[in-house]
Amino acid sequence: MDQIKEIKQSFLKDLQEINDNSSLLLCRTKYLGRNGLVNQAFKSLDKTKLKSEAPQLNLLKSDIESALDLKESKIKEAPIHPIDNPTLPGIRRKIGYLHPTTLVIRSMNDFFKRQGYSVYDGPEIENDDYCFDKLNLPKDHPARELTDTLYISEPDILLRCHTSSVETRCMTNEQLPIRIVVPGKVYRNENSNATNNSIFYQYEGLVVDKGISMANLKSTLIEFVRFLYGPETVTRFRCKYYPQVEPGAGLDIQCQFCFGKGCSVCKYRGFIEALGSGMVHPNVLKKCGIDPKIYTGFAFGMGLDRLVMLKYKIDDIRKLYNGELVTKENL
């Protein structure tokens, strides 16, 4: 009788602590399981008292079963807390969007991939050979001063000041023919302002093969500019000097604001310079181990950040790098 009383008191205490299906199952196992307290009590009965105490144990077992069944029905009827209800929609979290520069790079990559180009990359910490010497810029060349190079260890280790270093790496190490585009980050010792920054992106392209001519360069760039600005875009080429190409050409597009009449945006010229280009200089081909009598090529390059600013109406280049939160509606 003392054992039955102890089991009953213990069960009533545990019954109050049941609040979910997991605790209900544990309680049912503890008292009604094969090795539960009720079965252990049956096994421990004295045979001389079996007839007198067994009915009381059966009654206790029945009461426990009824109490647990009642508790189970109450748990099922209880409303599910929103957090525990898997059928309710989840909490909408704030998510980020791709950076404007990334969006433009992917769009441009898609265009050139359809033209048969591959996307190529190289190290941002570069050496003097790939960044200058192989680009027809020896140590005494005055054009080196224009790049405001940041050196890590003079005179050979530096942060690349243009992605043209990736092109010389490709021409030196890859098999011909070559048809690549190179989007990448570059570094220069410049004071930050609305239109210039010490960190910015460039986008360059390179083709080296047999029979490449200036006509291939012009047709490629005209198609590219019309892809960016629309099929009615007016373009023109002007002679320009770049040490790594000969002849060199600057590609201008007609001002989208005044349509060639002249305004403050285009500085009253009617055209805005979009990129620089030209046929790869024979000296560059030689320095990269390519015979210029057999192979020719063209290259082009542009400052990507200003293109991004124009596309998304961003008035300060520093906004691309200062971590300011920009929503999709701002773009």
Q: How far apart are CA 272 and CA 268, in angstroms?
A: 10
**What is the predicted pLDDT for the residue at 62?**
87
The tens place of each residue's pLDDT in the chain, 331 residues long, gives: 677 788 888 888 888 888 888 888 888 888 888 888 888 887 777 777 667 777 887 888 888 888 888 888 888 876 655 556 667 777 777 777 888 899 999 999 999 999 999 999 999 999 999 999 999 888 887 777 766 888 898 888 999 999 999 999 999 999 999 999 999 999 988 888 877 788 899 999 999 999 999 999 999 999 998 888 888 888 899 999 988 999 999 998 887 778 778 877 677 888 888 889 999 999 999 999 999 999 999 999 998 887 887 777 777 788 888 766 555 555 4
Contact 261, 225 (CB under 8 A): no
What was the pLDDT predicted at 281?
Answer: 95
Q: Domains in the chain, start-ordered, CATH in brackets?
A: 2-84 (no CATH), 105-330 (3.30.930.10)
Does the N-terminal peptide bond of residue 231 adopt cis geometry, omega within 30 degrees of 0?
no
Contact between 203 and 183 under an 8 Å Cβ cutoff? The reply is yes
Residue holding tokens 């039955």?
4
pTM here?
Answer: 0.66
Q: What is the pLDDT of residue 182?
A: 96
pLDDT of residue 255: 79
For residues 167 and 209, the answer to whether their CB atoms sit within 8 Å is no
Show the tokens assigned to 298: 């063209």
| Nearest residue to 280 (alpha-carbon basis) of 178, 201, 150 | 178
Please give the pLDDT value at position 247.
Answer: 92
* Amino acid 84: pLDDT: 61
Look at residues 227, 224, 250 and name the one whose alpha carbon lies nearest to residue 237.
250
C-alpha span between 245 and 143 (Å, rounded): 13
